[in-house]
Amino acid sequence: MTNTVEWEGSYKSRCGQVLAREHNLYIAATFLQKVALMYFWNINRLKNDLTHGLLKESDSFTYLISYIIFIGITSVTSTLTDYSSHLYYTLVGLLICICGTTYVYFRNGGAKGKNFLSRYISIQWVVGWRWCVFITLPYCLVFFILAAVQLISLDSPFIRIGGIIIVALSYWRIGKHIHDVATTKDTNENFETAH
């Protein structure tokens, strides 16, 4: 009788572990599926979805988690260089992020604006990818080439100052796109009020 009880207990425990593992795999697969459906490049389609209320809260959450993962990865890689040890540039970068986010908030309409977080996070994600490809990577490439031919040092303040300017200008682009969404009338909203 005792062996039967022990066997049943271990069987239930193993079943619970298998179910928990399957549940975790399901959550991971669902997240990866949502990431696959995210906009990485097409800002106009994203703005259209935001304007028409087609971006769900779960989609906004996926953008947020993806952004946090991306920032985490870039933070780890930036600690591999001496640049992150300069407190001055870190504080300036933090100030730009605070001012840039505040600017974008007011471009969305401030306290009267709607859906700030879903707009901000998703637009920042797409603009960030585009900005990286067209601005940040070419900028870094130029400085790596200049350093390779020994025309400039990789610890030059020009690299850090240029990076700060690039980040500041990215907030201007995010603000432009969020303002476009905030000032575009939703045709679904107009349809509902007309009927």
Block mean pLDDT (10 aa), the chain, length 195: 57 62 62 60 81 76 72 58 59 80 89 86 89 90 86 76 87 95 70 41
Q: Is the pTM above the cut of 0.75?
A: no
Q: Is residue 115 part of a domain?
A: yes
Residue 51: predicted pLDDT: 83
115 and 53, same structural domain? yes
102 and 26, same structural domain? no
98 and 74, same structural domain? yes
Residue 27: predicted pLDDT: 62
11 and 78, same structural domain? no
Q: Is residue 102 part of a domain?
A: yes
Residue whose pair of structure tokens reads 């030059």 in the numeric block: 156
Q: Is residue 195 part of a domain?
A: no
Q: Is residue 190 part of a domain?
A: no
Q: Is residue 191 part of a domain?
A: no
Domain, as residue range, for 11 = 1-36
Q: Position 10: which residue type?
A: S
101 and 31, same structural domain? no
- Which tokens hold the place of 51? 């304007």
Q: Is residue 107 part of a domain?
A: yes
Residue 192: predicted pLDDT: 44
State how far the Cα of 183 lies from the Cα of 41, in Å rounded to an integer: 22
Tally of domains within the chain: 2
